[in-house]
A and B are shown apart, each in its own frame.
Chain A
Amino acid sequence: MNDLHRLIVNKEHHQYRHTVAWNLAEEYRERGLSPIERMSDRFFRMCSEERAVILEGEQTVFMRTVANIPDIFTEDEWREIKAHHYIHELGYMSNLSPNYYGAISVGLLKKREDADEYGKKAIDAVISLSDKYLEEAKRIGREDIVRVLTRVPRYPAESFREALQFFRILHFALWLEGNYHVTVGRFDKYMYPYLKADIEKGILDEASALALVEDFFLSFNKDSDLYVGVQQGDNGQSLMLGGVDEDGDEIYNLLTRLSLEAAYHNKMIDPKINLRVSKKTPLERFAEATELTRAGLGFPQYSNDDVVIPALERLGYEHKDAANYTVAACWEFIVPFVGADVANIGALSYPKAVDTAFYRHLSHCQSYGEFFSAVKREIEKQAASICDGIKDLWFIPSPFMNVLMDCEIYGGGKYNNFGIHGTGIATAADSLAAIKKYVFEEKCVSAEALICAVKGDFEGAPELFHKLRYDAPKLGNNDDYVDSIAIRLLDCFANALSGKRNCRGGVFRAGTGSAMYYLWHADEIGASADGRRRGEPFGTNYSVSLFARVKGPVSVIGSMTKQHFLNAINGGPLTLEFHSSVFSDTDGVEKVGALVKRFVELGGHQLQVNTVNREQLIDAQRYPERYRQLVVRIWGWSAYFVELDREYQDHVIARQAYTL
């Protein structure tokens, strides 16, 4: 850890921050400004208020000194807007992948020529702010920074360092404008040409390039505490590596490797590393990537090109856009530059569908088939209700974001699809398997008795509870009995969305993610027929149930790669968790890498591999001060364990670890 790293870890740079107490909303209301005029004005003022601070030893400059961003609408106005429109989360269009390269390669002055009046004003504000940094660099005698900022962001970057600095300015400005979950995109695709040129010219060698990437990656952690989502760490700074280009040629270059290494060295939660892989990816790359897993940061997260690209094409994405996919804040598949999808607009709860059918229909169903049809109808009803509930969606327009996208996104981008998560598939499949086996096949428990036990949270039914929870078939054992139920559930969900059009003219995409709904949806129902007690959460994303006893990671992969992801590609990974000791030698690392490769070959769509050490986590709950740097993966992002709320901490501890 160098001094800069230590300073950021210890949050010493927070001393340069201040807050502003402006009542912009009231002023804008009085002046009668339109939403875009307000956004434009606020961005200008934020840029003016920011001051230039250059930390000792840093190469990539720009960090936030204004901690808060005042609202642009008064509460009454916001209520009025919400009365007429569907507002997604905070109201901004998030989870976008802007075209940074499009600006880095021509310079902001050139971008300014084609921008509208708001775009021009935003660009001017960014340049003025950059000039403050230039002056500061001159004042403290940092000639290297002076040289960089004399060129960028006005003019195109001519070196790797200038390109990284240019990126930082753009990314910083997008957050400052109020946008959130601003992703990084395919970093080793668009940045590599700059690195390659510098290496060829002899300006950089591998070691100096690595140092630059490490410094650049550190910059993602300077302001990330201000980018809070549902929990600290949920900030969407996802970076994609690898994958094929539109001609099917694989990208895996020096920058791919340096990025993996830099993330390993930095051991910080940002940027969040993703890796695109396919059947063609050689085994040794999986081993290289697993080295990063070993760092315990919960990444890289893998996405399978063989599945994702054709599945996106089926949804109507052009090949060149599908082939260029990246991930949103967590794992939702999005296309850069032209995609205006809202990949996380809602979530379906499979257990809720089973629960409703269970209480309303089970007692008069003659067969399992009949009961499953009732569940299917509930899935369709829920899907229809989610889709129909989203009308007149409106976004706060962000002028600078618009500058960096290749099409006008607020009026409707090239793609305007909505993604719906699917929560608790294992809880639902396990419940259905238990019902099928015990009520309809073995007939060892009547529908009434089962309903009564589940309703009463298994009070007074210890033997039935034990049977349901520990003896019944569970998803994750490569057992077709349950796996086939999960296949049908996912198909039902995908079919229920198929053919529906959303209010922006796009389609709906079925997903396998859960986001925070694994806790929220679990609270909506009581106990379930899989032996889950009232109040127990579901697994995250596309996972087996928390208490399922499974044979091991191989069987889990067997169970979780059988489903038809070509019809359900909004994203959401299978999570495999290994005890940290598995990674203690290269043999373990290579074996985990080989398992990941096999997952890809078997047609799995997305995978997250975590290292956990239960004893350490429990100790960290007791002595948080000793574990400030302990990182865990939550549902699509990594976080510092001790900064999480207790319920998220407990879930991480409860999750299945295959202690090998």
Chain B
Amino acid sequence: MQTGTKISLAGHGVLMGWAVFGGWFSAAPEAVQVQEVSVISAADFERLSQRPAAPVIAPEPAALSEPEQPVEVPQLNTTAETQVETSQPETVQTPAVEVPPETVPTPDPAPEVAPQPPEILDAPESSSIIAALPEPEQLRPAERVAPEPVAAPEPEVAIDDIVQPEVSTDVGAEAEQEAQEETAEEAASDRIVTEANEDEEAELEPAPVVSAPSTSLRPQVRPRRPQAPEQPTEVAEPLDDAESEAQDQASAIEDALAAAIAGGGEVEAPEPSGPPLTSGEKDALRVAVSKCWNVGSLSSDALRTTVEVSVTLSQDGKPDPGSIRMISSTGGSNSAAKQAYEAARRAIIRCGARGFQLPAEKYSQWREVVMTFNPEKMRIK
């Protein structure tokens, strides 16, 4: 017998068995639920289905009637918070809608001002009313607490169309940096330190060692020229060779150690240090000297002579007359240069008699000044 025939016989057998014995396993029939109904008349149905009439609401909330009597604000002063706001006379005319409800144990503060419409089952004919109610402020432009309008809000930041370069434009920022050790501890803490327990915290924890610089580094300046060593005033007595050699070695080691501790070589305090003068500060000095630079009595030859004059200024900005000297001159004879220099010297001394106005904190920058007096423009005036 072929397999297909077997499958067919089995299938038909199952089918016939289900047809013969299937009824034996059927569930009990469901109980029929019967509900009693009452018959009403058409008039009653019409009466029951009639909706309640919606209240008439003015389309403009601002036209709502104001309370005839001022609200008895003192009665609302149940909390300190409300006292501040409501005790102001200006707020008397203001509906109490701004009073927080939790602090005002009064009935609905706005029944007379803005009666709540009854529950609306269907959408009203005028939907604008519903939209306007949540924003009463916009509907009361005249009466506000502040008598003066507040400042206009800042305009929103507009996104620039021009693409700016990224902030971190340093070349080093794009290059891969070498791993570095942490130079400063994290600032975050697991405890909140207040003024009350600041001292306790200070006692508990040692002060963190901050290795980050507090100020930016100043650029190095040219060190002073090494001065000739002074002649020894005392001549050491000659020692034995061995003792002398040992002493030399010891002193050499000490010197090396001192040099290493000092950071390599003695560098005297730089002379011009600190930030340089700004162009404005330089201009002020230039203008101050120009006011006294009188070339009216100079010869035409001297008017073709440019002189460089150096001067030392004291801390109060006054020039030291003895320090004024001509460094160089161009364009004229020696006689002309002398006259040009004397006119320049007069200008420095005269206008510096009360001290040039220069920033005192930058004194090292302007202690020595070299002024170039170029009369080219004055020659054609």
A and B associate in one complex: no
Interface set of A (CB-CB < 8 Å, partner B): none
Q: Interface on B for A, CB 8 Å cutoff?
A: none
